[in-house]
Structure 1
Amino acid sequence: MGSRLRKALKGDRSLAYLLVIPAFLLVGFFAVYPFAIALWNSVSYVDLFTGERTFVGVDNFLAVISDPFVLSATWRSVVWTVSNMVLQVIVGVLVAMLLNLKLRGQRVARALVLVPYMVPAIVAALIFQYMFNDVTGVVNYLMQSAGLIDKPLGWLSNPDLIMITIVIVNVWKYSPFFTIIVLARLQSIPHDLYEAVSIDGGSWYHRFTTVMLPSIIPVVLAGSMFRTIWTAYDFDIPFLLSGGGGPSGSAITVPLAIRALAFEDQQYGQASALAIYASLLLALIAVYYLWQMRRSDKSMG
């Protein structure tokens, strides 16, 4: 009996290894291998024409942190990521709370909320390029008709407005991510908790602060961790709407700076060093999010 049990367990363990091996191979090929190549390139001078590498140590890292172009792109990335995260969380949570109410047309509204998230980035960029056009754009037309502006604004041609415009588009596209996860959490909250607060004489504010908010904080933190990483590395929306960086490079973030260093300046090593810097910083941010999630779980427990 004991030998047959050991054979069965051994068979299950072998099957588990066989099922996990493809995942390990995919992660190794698409994540570990590219990171290792980037790390090797970051300490080398890479000739893109011959493919030869010359070891230069930390020179690429020193060059990157002293480059005004990179520093400006880094600051824009910070503004880009923080503004996106704040607005996406606020919009996503508010829409989720609205959809959680028992209103007429709720099912249709829930389906429509998913549309921005499902639209491909290039399609969204093309649509908003027409909408924010200086001459024929519907945004300027509506704002002028409402008396909000006297003349058309250069949403994508003005260095002072282009980042605001791109943030608006990105918030429109990715806020549904928070709407989906927060709405799912709100619908899983037992109604007994709301009834208990109501019996104690609590208002809507008390139901929100004592039941809803503590329940959605772990979900928001988990979603924010992923969205922070994805937003910091977001390339398509900024690149497509700005045409590669916007007027005078006013919309160049770190991903666009990496592209410029690699393919325009032919500094592949410096581009890799900047990518390594960004990866390490985002890893630290992810650790911070995980720490906050653990604290939130302990407080709820």
Structure 2
Amino acid sequence: MNRTQLVLFTLASGRSGTSYLADFFAKNITQCYSTHEPYFTFGNPTLFGKPIAWNTRHNDRALLPVLERKCRFIVSRKEPVYFESNHAFLKAFNRHAGALLNNPGFIHLVRHPLRVAKSEYVREQMIRKWHFPFADYTSDTGERYFRWALTGQEDVFRHYPSSLSRFQFYLLQWLEIEYRAMQLIHDHRWQARVFFIDVGVDLKQEAVLKNMVRFFDLPHQPVFKMDLRRNQTPFIDPTLVTQQDKQEFQAIARHLPERYKKLLQNKPYRDCSWFTEVNQLMIEGSRA
């Protein structure tokens, strides 16, 4: 890739503000090719579906040509900045980012894990209720998987029975995604290339987004437009975390591998607005 081109990706789970951030870039950042999840852009794979399963199974013979095609698309853009706010990045691209991205930057979006899990669960239920086409895909080995999620065959899931609730699945997915994010940053010493946002309190703060723009030295409009799109689930009330949800989180805490527990005790998570609440649930669950 062209070393003068800055390539920005989000490090994020789904339901964590990627759509909002994409709209911010589209309306405020100049000289930038900006996209969210490029479903209808020829030559730019979204990475949902089979690439996620290929990444989980380390099937690089199938995965690498897709990632390389994406990189060819990126470098073909004339703009000096490429931005993609796609939560498939850590699901499908994490193992090869170091080899394929020469001048990357990352915006790490972290939202309250229980709110993410509940929102993803509700969104999947809506998709199934409305019978969205192509919501599931068949892997090369014949399993059926939800297109926008991990497969459930990743390492973290192997510590739990198949009787996990779908909400618990999404809790574990959040943990796996964050583990991959920190592994990616540390393995490639990319700490200085990452701007962190605590989604629940900071994503919609103009001052925080201005700091992000300065951090990456992005060209921008003289006045920021902050009337931005929110990707709300249609006909669904705002995300509400119930007592049962908290109990289900505590249940998975009992068997959570130590590396995931340690993850939450370190920066940036221990400085997040939700840390005290989630940490207490983790402690209580581990004792049960």
Give the TM-score range, shorter chain: under 0.3
Q: Which structure's residues are more often helix, by fraction?
A: 1
Q: Which structure's residues are more often strand, by fraction?
A: 2
TM-score by length of 1: 0.23
Report the structure number with the largest CA radius of gyration: 1
TM-score by length of 2: 0.24
